Every structure is written in structure tokens, then in C-alpha cells.
Structure 1
Amino acid sequence: MNNITQLPTNQLEPNPLQPRGAINHETVSDLVDSIREHGILEPLIVAQTPAGYQIIAGERRWRAARTLKLPYVPVIIKKVNPQQMLEMAIVENIQRQDLNPIERAKAFNRLKDEFNLDNHVIAQKISKSVPYVINVLKLLTLPDAIKDGLLSGLISEGHGRALGGIGDTRLMIEAY
């Protein structure tokens, strides 16, 4: 059962395995306004570690709570290992479609490299198909200029995959 409890805001730490590359300060600012008016509507998910409590899901809410100097935040404490922390953070962000395509690809690659998971296991853990995982991972092979286009939102993930299908880097860049 997921019991909600209150923890002191200053006892929480960001997740070093967070798949999101950077926190958008503008969205945190918007969240500050919302929390000021309505409070924190959804508890943070945290893991108890030897170093303290690390945030699995809800880092933006935590940052907003710190900005507002809230002494406590609602949390659900999970007993998980580092692999499970990364998996939960990835799933939570994918469900909200919160990671950009390159962050998602890097997160999948970490599951492969750090925990020796294959594409089938990753697909199962995130409730997606194996071809979906393979296509996302292929984005990491794109030239940096095209990856930058994906990161900035200049091109969509579908466009990135189509460009990757060209095979020749020079032709990819020309088509981009």
C-alpha cells in the first residue's frame, strides 16, 4: 500500500539517476504559482537511501516547495534499489511524455549499460513495444546537429527517425 506521509523539505535530495537532463526554471516558476494557490496535489515519490531520501518522481514539485519555503512535502516512500529508481523515474516521465527524445534515448541506454538490460526487458518495464525501444535508441546514432534539432524542438522525433534512415551522414545533414 502507498501510504502518504510528510517529510521535511530539506531532507530530500534530487535523484542522481534522474533521466531528465535539465529542469526548466520557467515551468518550476509556473508550478510555484500553482502550489501557492492549491498546495501540492500529488505526493512526491522518494526512496530511502543510506544518504537520505532521494526523489524518484516530483523533483519540480520539490523545487517549487523549496522556493515557497514549505517546511514539509507529502511523499510516498518506496523501498527500491538504484536500478528500480531509474526504471521508476523513466516510466514516470514517459507516462507524462515529459522527456525529450534524446533524454529518453539516453535513459534507455543507461538501462542497457548500467544494468545490462536488453531491449525486450526495457520494453516490458516501460510498457512499450520492442520496436519503440529500438527506434528511440537509434536516435543516439544521429549526427550532433540533428540531435540538437530534436533537443530544441526544431524537428520532431519522427523526423529524426526518418533522417536516421538515410544512413549517410552528409545526406542526413543536407536533408535536415
Structure 2
Amino acid sequence: MINPFKNKKGLGRGLSSLIGDNETKSPSHKISISSIVPNRNQPRKLFEKESLNELTNSIKERGIIQPLIVRKSDDQDKKFEIIAGERRWQAAQAAGIHEVPVLVIEADHLKSLELAIIENVQRRDLNAIEEAESYKNLIDNFGYDQDQVSQFIGKSRSHVSNTLRLLSLPEKLIEMIRSEKISQGHAKILIGLENSLLLAEKIIKKKLSVRQTENLVRVLKNGSRKIYKSKDSNSLATENTLSEIIGMRVVLINKKNNSGTLSIEYKGLDQLDRLINVIKSNY
């Protein structure tokens, strides 16, 4: 795919500046609300009900002050796709408004996504997962890399990288972040932890702060290191030998009475099947 990225500063230039990049745009005018369709690339998935109700009441009294930004739909005749202003569109429908002010611009899929991201990030309307999914969309479907996303949104590369890493968390934990049951600050601490979901549930139940969560994870990590270091050399050697032979992580816990457990960690069903076949063929 051809990289569409151009040397621009995204958020630093602002939404109005990016709109100005388009050679063709029509003056603001009103169109039927039924001729408007939502943006297929809308970064924002959740719209807070209470806030939407407040906007609905405001529109009933004062109307829509700021026009929606739209483009002609490329797959629905006589329809316009929202680029910026979906929340206003939803509230206008709830308020019983039949026509809304719009600014029609020419924009391809990339420009539409860029403008939608700019509007939402500038207003801090996106939750952490929506922001991460927006960056991933730019990277996966429009040829951006992390440096280019960083330049475009006006934030550091480390911010982009850390935000994208949230998508590596378990799906249930991602939904907790999306619904704001835990914060992005909490979530960043849980990245890469095997028991991240269990810890997330503890954070919610105990109402732990980010600092308290950091301390809890630090204690758990130090505890696991102490257990590992306390193993005798024979147990460590056995773990290493078995791990090299079967290609999976092996943990051996041998108690004083010489009873204990031998755990083998597999990464997929193919490894599990291979492990089962080895055991069956030898016993």
C-alpha cells in the first residue's frame, strides 16, 4: 500500500487547518437529517447518555450552533457521511430536528479518519481503547508507522506505543478500560502480566489508586523473584533441561517431603496437542 502520510503536524495545526487542506468545500448550509449517515471510521464508539441528553436539551433551546462536517457518501446515493459531529447529529435526532447545518468537504477515507481522530483527540472525547484503535487503523489500513502517528497527533512516540500496547491485554480487560471501570493509568501497569485480569478485578473491588496498584504489582513481582531464587540448583537445572527439550516453559516446585508440582506452559492448541501425544506415547 502506498504510504499516504504527508509532512504535517496534525493536532498542532488544528481541525480547521486540516479542513483547509481540501481544495473544494461548500459554504455551510442546512440539509435533511435523514440524508446523513454515520462515519464508518468513527473512532468514538461510546457516547455518554447523560451528556448526550444535556446536548439534546441545549439543541432544543438554541439549535445547532456549530455545523457538522460531512462528505458525500461514496456508496449511498444522495447521502452524506459524517466526518465530525456525530454526537450533535444523534442529539439533533433526539430533539426532533429535521434539518441540520453542515459543511460539505471533499475527503477520501484517510482524510475522513484523520479529521475524525483530530476532533475527538482535541476534545479528549476518546477513551484509551478508542484512541488505540484509531492509531491501529492508521497503521494497519493507511500505511502509517508509529513515528508518523506521533507527528500527526502531536504526542510523543512513547505515548503512541504505550497506547497501542493496551490492545495486547485480554479482551475482557479491554472492555473494562473501554467502559472506564479501570483507568488508562491502571491498565498500563497491567500490560505484560500473566495475571492482569485477576489484578484488574482486584483494582475494581478494592478501588485501588494507580499508586496502590503500582505498589501491589511491585510486591507480587518481588515475591515471585524470591521464590525463584530460593530454588535449589537441581530444580533449576531440571526446569532448564525440560524447557529446552520440549520448547515450553517448565516450572518445578519440589517440597521438603519431595512431593510437589511440575507445570508446563503451552502457548497454543498445537503445543498442547504435541504435549498430550508425547505423554500418551510414553505412558
Contact 1:145 1:173 in 2 (8 A): yes
Q: What's the counterpart of residue 113 of structure 1?
A: 140
1:27 paired to 2:41:
no
Once the two structures are TM-superposed, the CA of residue 17 in structure 1 deviates from its matched residue by: 1.0
> Structure 2 CA distance, aligned partners of 1:23 and 1:168?
30
What SS class does the counterpart of residue 139 from structure 1 fall into?
helix
After TM superposition, list the pairs within 5 Å mapping 1:18-167 onto structure 2.
18-50=42-74, 51=76, 52-164=79-191, 167=192
Secondary structure of 2:30's partner? Answer: strand
Q: RMSD between aligned alpha carbons?
A: 1.8
What 5-or-longer segments of structure 2 have no aligned partner? 1-19, 201-283
Q: What residue is the counterpart of 1:8 in the other structure?
A: 32
Using CA pairs below 8 Å that are at least 6 residues apart, which structure has the higher relative contact order?
Answer: 1
**Alpha-carbon offset, residue 174 of structure 1:** 4.1
| Residue matched to 1:169 | 194
Contact 2:129 2:178 in 1 (8 A): yes
Distance 1:63 1:174, change over 3 A: closer
Say if 1:48 and 1:77, in contact at 8 Å, map to a contact too. yes
SS of the residue aligned with 1:169?
Answer: coil
For 1:29 and 1:120, the matched residues in 2 are separated by 39
CA distance in 2, matches of 1:130, 1:56: 26
Offset at residue 4 of structure 1 (A)? 2.0
Identity %: 38
Secondary structure, aligned partner of 1:102: helix
Matched AA of 1:97: R
Q: Contact 1:143–1:169 at 8 Å: present in 2 too?
A: no
Residue correspondences, number: 173
Which secondary structure does the structure 1 equivalent of 2:135 belong to?
A: helix
Select between 18-27 and 51-60 the one with higher mean Cα deviation.
18-27
